[in-house]
Structure 1
Amino acid sequence: MGSRIAFVTATETPVPDTELSLLPDAAARAGLDADVVAWDDPAVAWERYDLALIRSTWNYPAKLAQFQAWADATGAVTRLVNDPAIVRWNSVKTYLGDLAAAGVPTVPTTFLTPGVDLPSYDDFVVKPTVGGGARGARRFRSPDGAPEHVRGLQDAGFTAMVQPYQRRVETDGERAIVYVGGEFSHAIVKGAVLVTASGLRGEQSHPDPRPYTPSDAEHALARAVLASAPVPPLYGRIDLVLDDAGQPIVMEAELIEPHLFLTSAPGAEDRLLAAVKRLLGG
């Protein structure tokens, strides 16, 4: 009998996980037995599994402390992928400050903790430090309305963060570079999301994805991000944009539960499960 693994989702997700259906068959092809279970289902016996692969735990922003505690507890009874230390680090976007401090080029970010004023930008984005899919993110071309949005995020229990809007995303797109098992798997480029102040373009967090070949500089930047994680991640999606000088910079590092654009890269799900099997010693 092969190793038993869990693909971890949530009891409720804000959007459907369109990739989850690909994974059980990929697990079977890798000789692994797999179940799909929810992180917030108290009936799950995590010790039954040799490995739990986090995939779509997308309701965690409203339950951050519970999610981090779950990761710690689950990691104590089975192999959690990615590691609980990565969950704690990557679930709050203050990791961008850690990357910048380590010399990794990132989108300039100001965290609006008490006593920190809203920066003066003529085009900027305000978002919560905990979230995904651009939820809670708004673009502003003047200060009008921004303080109210910041207060709304703070009243909801979030710390707000501010970034200058990266204009080249509208012409050059945002690049998502996926590494699995320390090796490049695939990449896509997608359109700009916050093209209006009202929020998402057509309510899509990943508009118009298409295959992309990263440059050497983009590969080097993605590897620098992965090397900055608390422990080596099994998988990661690094989102990059070009700055005004045309140089790649990190928009986000998605190391917990990213959409991996598996349908845009034939064989990507098999590469993921092959890496899982290697991790299990198979």
Structure 2
Amino acid sequence: ARIQEGAASLEGYGLVFKNNVMASGVIPQITIMAGPAAGGAVYSPALTDFLIMVKGDAYYMFVTGPEITKVVLGEDVSMQDLGGAVVHASKSGVVHFMVDSEQEAINTAKRLLSYLPSNNMEEPPYMDTGDTNDREVKDAESIVPTDSAKTFDIRDLVYAVVDNGEFLEVHKHWAQNITVGFARVAGNVVGIVANNSAYASGAIDIDAADKAARFIRFCDAFNIPLVSIVDTPGYIPGTDQEYRGIIRHGAKMLYAFAEATVPKITVVVRRSYGGAHIAMSIKSLGA
């Protein structure tokens, strides 16, 4: 929209946003960010379920650009530092998948769609993977340290358990203390929610709670069973988290698990302490 076009020019944006919202939870919505976006144009991608963004100088998104930021705040910042793929994939959490090329973005979207039903009335697509649910996970004991003070990457365990070691991680670079993504077990699609002790010892913070809650609600909307893999010492303490609203954000995760009506399985691999024990889906929340 241009200033000289007046408020009426914004009505088009509003119609797009309304359609995004009306389709939310009914059909999967995926955005490929293959160019720049600024102002109102950034909100439709943010309203969709998954945003795939290409790295590079030609690709960026922000509400307010560097020039206005300079005038208003006196802050010098480049387009990439303000709204590039790396920023949104690792700091803001707007981007779910960061890729190196537009072709990779298309391939990622295709792979993502292979896990999703076409709408919320369908079941997720079954695939004969050649893997079975009675396969012994021989590497499990070597992957998970018996000493709870030692950290490990929970994704190694996920790869060992799921069919053929295929796991599509969502938000890989953001809130890494919790891992979420799609996989198959005996050919059936599942959503994985797992604490990752390789980052912040697997403790839950504001971003981790938001990341998990959004993913849980998506899976519930599209009939995807949830598997929680628990290894957490609790919530991250301190004034920073409390002042920013860890209670409010942590409640989102509790709400999401309690609300979900899909099958929920919880596996405690080591630690499960305090409020985080509840937040990772216990029996009273429907596991």
* TM superposition score normalised by structure 1: 0.26
Structure whose alpha-carbon radius of gyration is higher: 2
Scaled by the length of structure 2, what TM-score is found? 0.25
Flag the structure with more relative contact order, 1 or 2, with Cα contacts below 8 A and sequence separation at least 6.
1
The structure with more helix, counted as a fraction of residues: 2
